[in-house]
Structure 1
Amino acid sequence: MPPRDLRRGEKMDPPAAARVSNLPGNGASRVREILRLLDQDRDLPTLSPVVEKVLQRVKDERVSIRELAEIIKNDVSLSFKILKVVNSAFYGFPRKISTLTQAMVILGLSAVKNLALSMSILEIFVQEASRGKDGKGFRVFWERSLFSAVAARRLALLMKHRNEEEVFIAALLQDIGTLLLIKHLPEDYAEVMEKAQRSASDIVALEEDAFGINHAVLGEFLANKWRLPRTLTIPILRHHNPSPTPDSLEPEEQHIHQLTQLVQLSNQISAIFYEEYRSDRVEQLKQSARTHFNISPQEIEDLLDHLADEVKEVAEFFGLPLEGTQSYSELLMAANIALGKINLTYEQMNRELIAAKKRAEELSEQLAEANRKLQEMANVDGLTQIFNRRVFQNLITREFYRSHRYGHPLSCIMIDLDHFKHVNDSEGHLVGDQVLREVAALLHGSLRKTDFLARYGGEEFVVILPEAENKAAATLAEKLRRAVEAHPFDIEGRTIHVTISLGVATYSREMPVTSEEELVQRADANLYLAKRYGRNRTWTEDDSQQLRERLAEPAEATQNEPLPT
């Protein structure tokens, strides 16, 4: 962290916007130069004289409400704004408050002090936005700061914090150092921001890379120049990385630490609205809120749903020209559209969900449901509603690895419908599809819970049998064959019959296989033999061995021997 006692030089005109590459030296010397430029800048943001005097007098325990009211009355605009906010829904008092003295009696000195400070800070933000070259950058900065402040105050109310106004101002000030970087190093900071958005990198690390200092340290520097209390300067400095809570902290330090954690949460919330939307940010926010403050995920959802509207109201109370901001539902909708451009199927599915629900406020739940269905679509065959070939490849790889590692058997059954082309040609493809669906259901209903059934392609199916020896696999294959053979397929008042051929292959200590690909190839080869030698039958490794032995014998010795059954 840079030294706080900066050298006091002769006052200079405000320096023009600089480039980091033009600053002398590097590392610590560059940091000192940046701080020297800031320290000598007459145009550095300053609090109004009235607010500065209020901050000084509040430190005196003997100060009276009447005295503070007289000080604030010297700023007519500030007095009017305070009374306007006090009488707004921001506080929701049942009766009108007509004087500053009355407001102080009801709210307390600390709350009025923080309210006055908040107004002064927001006025600085808006002034910088109106006169700076990068007007859009300043506007986005103060709008996001207001989002953070309103979110922090809402969190404080949820956890019944003793001073929600203090939380509001701490969150409002958390990124005040960014204001200095935008103002004094606009081109360099624009590059840093672009890099942060492009790479999703930590903004603090990127700032330190570029400038040797980060906005949190600069924010503390400015807060100290304004003589703000530690309850505000420490959260500004540490809001990106609050240290774990030690049990031995004094009450005041515990209070500051809690403030810092609330400010960090508010920063996570504003990132959801002002950076590229990522669902993991929402989940991290919910987890942090529950861990640190026992705030439930549903309470966080409600907060996010209503935050944009509440920020608009607060901006109006404070007399701020807030431009159109997206609500949480709109953010989710925009994220959904972006995902839909990547996957047209997903886009169509999400449109159907939106059309069915007709409630933008529930878009978060709809998007979660859409993601679940998209995952299901990626894993399930659309016609038969069983696993597809892609999932089969993953499962056979996983199961073969487990079997090979632990020495357990693994069997694979390849299945093909006999004369299925004739069914399609004579009955039509719609009937063929119905037959495939019914066959899939029959197979699935005959398997163990630990087995996996997938459609391999066309009229072919495949079964993975973990922990199944060759004999057990052959027995199950026969069960499947008989189930299909005995099943009547009712087609528009007519009944047709279908049979299947099955090839069985097994990996075990007695029947070694080098890879999952070889296991599948053996099952496929056995399926081919089942179809070649009669169809509507099961062909196992034992059958193949018998066939090889028969073919190896002299022709006259085998001419009357039957094929394996």
Structure 2
Amino acid sequence: MPILVTKDLKLPSPPAIALRILEAVKKNDASFSDLARIIEVDPALTAKILKVANSSFYSMASQVNTIEKALSVLGLNVTKNIALSFVIAKELVVPVDGGFDFNSFWKRAVTSAVSAELLAARLSYRNDDLFVSALLQDIGVLILYLCRSDEYRQVLDEKRVSGRPILDIEQRIFGFDHQEVGAELLLEWGLPTTFADTIRHHHDSEGCPEKLRMQVDLLHWSSMLTSIYFGSRSVEMGLQLKAEICPRFKIKEEAIDLLIDMVAEKSVEILSFFEIDSGDMKPFSLLLQDANEELRRINLSYEQLVMQAKQARKKAEELATELLEANVKLREMAFRDGLTGLYNYRYFQELMDREVSRSKRHHLGLSLMLFDIDHFKDVNDTYGHPAGDQVLRNLAELVQSTMRISDIVVRYGGEEFAVILPSTDLPGCKVFATRLRRRVEEMETVVSGMSIRVTISIGVTGYDTAQNSLEKAVMIKTADSALYAAKNRGRNRVEVELLPA
């Protein structure tokens, strides 16, 4: 799976200073001064690390005023991880584009990291990598959005409306999920494999190696703690957290209540070091008090509250469904050709990416046809452009009535069309192309009493599962070459060209 992830997505390169930090700590003879020199090159990073070292999060007995002292007091690993946290977060902060709230993402990520550290301390568990692991546990979501924004908006819309697990939706649309993407990114960036292994299983502790079980559980609980402050089921999350932790570790529920409040207090402080606005983040106990005061002020009965909640929920579900339908229509409009109603060139490129990926992943055949109308300029010159438009519309209908449900036809541009045939070998595609050519030859378009007949030239290529490689650009180029061969050899014919070995 990791190989497929890297082929399907262009993963961002690691920040240069992160690489230097990682390379320094990998050396057996690495000293505090070596790492300090790398960090001190960046004054802003240095200031942030010193702020964290002197914060209530670590409660140092004396002032930490140099990176070397931070290294000696906190340790090499902790300081390295604090530095990496700041560097990676800074690198992947992107301006809000209306489809994804990057500020909210990082606010939740930092809160998860703080939650994991506080939980670990309460459970007497020590792991220097925990803060970074929790911070980056959902980094795959960010990468998927940055690399495939249109499709990931679809994931988010479906999640909001259906409530289905986001991993299931990602698997259906991409063939992999954000856990795998996050793990692969950290491996690409050269972080220790324990980071990747932990993140790869943070939604599935049952499938993780036993040695990582506690780390994965802590990430799971940190996510629940974060949902108390940023989710819509705060009370439910708090009860579930207590149910999972208290019996297992013999901890009283009151201790968890105190921990939940402490998460807010510490998160506000750490968020300020990341230069992220914490908003009106208050301890959960205060939020409950405020909510109770508001209920008393409004003086609503229990029955009224239930009725209002039901009505609000129904209205929200209706609005969410309408929004999802509207988004689907907008996507359709963006991907449709206005004249023929077929998918357009933009959709063709995205679909080819998906089908090429699917064919390689599942070892399935894939064929591609490119064809255009012979001497179409003569049709426009002789009968006029409205007549030419009618020919294009009729041809589009004919192709759709000829092909299988699984095949996709697009208007590639002008009088040129493309047909993608999933799970189809080259001989099968040639049979279809020949049948289509004959049907077009028999097609008649009547405009203002005038009969118009056209022919098409078709170029065909296909991927055989026995071949070693399949690349979208090569496949399109090969089909295009076959099309030109058909035109050069007299038109109204089918030419087949094999993909290069």
TM-score tier, shorter chain, comes to 0.5 to 0.7
Instruction: Give me the whole-angstrom Cα distance separating, in 1, the residues matched to 2:20 and 2:248.
Output: 36
1:35-87 Cα deviation digits (max 9, x unpaired)? 43533x6xx2x443222111122122321112111222222221221112112
Higher relative contact order (CA 8 A, sep 6+): 2
CA RMSD of aligned residues (A): 3.2
2:103–2:276 Cα contact (<8 Å) kept: no
| 1:285 is aligned to 2:238 | no
Q: Give the aligned partner of residue 133 of structure 1.
A: 97
The residue aligned with 1:179 is 142
Distance 1:293 1:237, change over 3 A: farther
The 2-side partners of 1:135 and 1:146 are apart by 21
Say if 2:180 is the partner of 1:217.
yes
The count of corresponding residues between Structure 1 and Structure 2 is 306
Is 1:269 aligned with 2:233? Answer: no
What's the offset of the Cα at 1:113?
0.8
Q: Is 1:148 aligned to residue 112 of structure 2?
A: yes
**Equivalent runs, 1:78-157 vs 2, <5 Å:** 78-125=45-92, 127-128=93-94, 130=95, 132-134=96-98, 137-157=101-121
Contact 1:197 / 1:276 at 8 angstroms: preserved in 2? no
Instruction: Please list every run of 5 or more consecutive structure 1 residues that lacks an aligned counterpart in the other structure.
Output: 5-31, 351-565
Aligned to 1:325: 281
| Maintained 8 Å contact 2:205/2:216 | yes
Q: Would the aligned equivalents of 2:201 and 2:207 in 1 still touch at CA under 8 Å? A: no
Residue 204 to residue 65, structure 1, CA distance change in 2 (3 Å): same
Deviations 1:449-472, CA, capped at 9 Å, x for gaps: xxxxxxxxxxxxxxxxxxxxxxxx
CA contact (8 A) 1:85 1:317 kept: yes
Q: Distance between the aligned counterparts of 2:78 and 2:227, measured in 1?
A: 27
- Deviation string, structure 1 residues 368-390 (Cα, Å, up to 9, x no partner): xxxxxxxxxxxxxxxxxxxxxxx
* Alignment-derived partner of residue 345 in structure 1: 301
Equivalent residue, structure 1, for 2:477: none
Distance 1:195 1:54, change over 3 A: same
| 1:277–1:331 contact (8 Å) kept in structure 2 | no
1:287–1:245 Cα change, 3 Å: farther
Cα drift, residue 226 of structure 1: 0.8
Cα deviation, residue 317, structure 1: 3.0
* Aligned-residue offset at 1:174: 0.2
CA distance change for structure 1 residues 222 and 270 in 2, over 3 Å: closer, same or farther? same
Question: What TM-score do you get using the length of structure 1 for normalisation?
Answer: 0.49
Distance 1:51 1:293, change over 3 A: farther
Q: How many angstroms apart in 2 are the aligned matches of 1:217 and 1:334?
A: 40
Letter in 2 for 1:96: Q
TM alignment of 1:48-447, pairs within 5 A: 48-125=15-92, 127-128=93-94, 130=95, 132-134=96-98, 137-163=101-127, 165-243=128-206, 254=211, 256-277=212-233, 279-325=235-281, 327-329=283-285, 332=288, 344-346=300-302
Secondary structure at 1:243's aligned position in 2? helix
SS at match of 2:276: coil
1:38 corresponds in structure 2 to 9
TM-score between the two structures when normalised by the length of structure 2: 0.55
Partner of 2:393: none
Matches within 5 A, 1:452-491: none
**Counterparts of 1:313 and 1:70 in 2: how far apart (Å)?**
27
Q: Secondary structure at the match of 2:191?
A: coil
- 8 Å CA contact 1:134–1:186 kept in 2: the answer is no
Tell me, yes or no, if the aligned pair for 2:108 and 2:230 is still in contact at 8 Å.
yes
Q: C-alpha offsets along residues 340-365 of structure 1, whole Å, 9 cap, x if unaligned?
A: 9xx94227899xxxxxxxxxxxxxxx
Q: Could you list the per-position Cα deviations for residues 134-169 of structure 1 after superposition, in whole angstroms to 9, with x for gaps in the alignment? A: 475211111111111111111011112223x42111
Deviations 1:211-248 (A, max 9, x none): 222111111111111111122111111000112788xx
2: CA distance, partners of 1:100 / 1:79: 7
Amino acid at match of 2:62: R
Report percent identity of matched pairs.
Answer: 33
Contact 2:201 2:216 in 1 (8 A): yes
Q: Deviations over 1:470-493 (max 9, x none)?
A: xxxxxxxxxxxxxxxxxxxxxxxx
Structure 2 distance, partners of 1:294, 1:114, is: 31
Match of 2:391 in 1: none
Q: Which residue matches 1:18?
A: none
Aligned-pair CA distance for 1:325: 3.4
The 3-state SS of whatever aligns with 1:162 is coil
Equivalent-residue separation in structure 1 for 2:104 and 2:273 (angstroms): 19
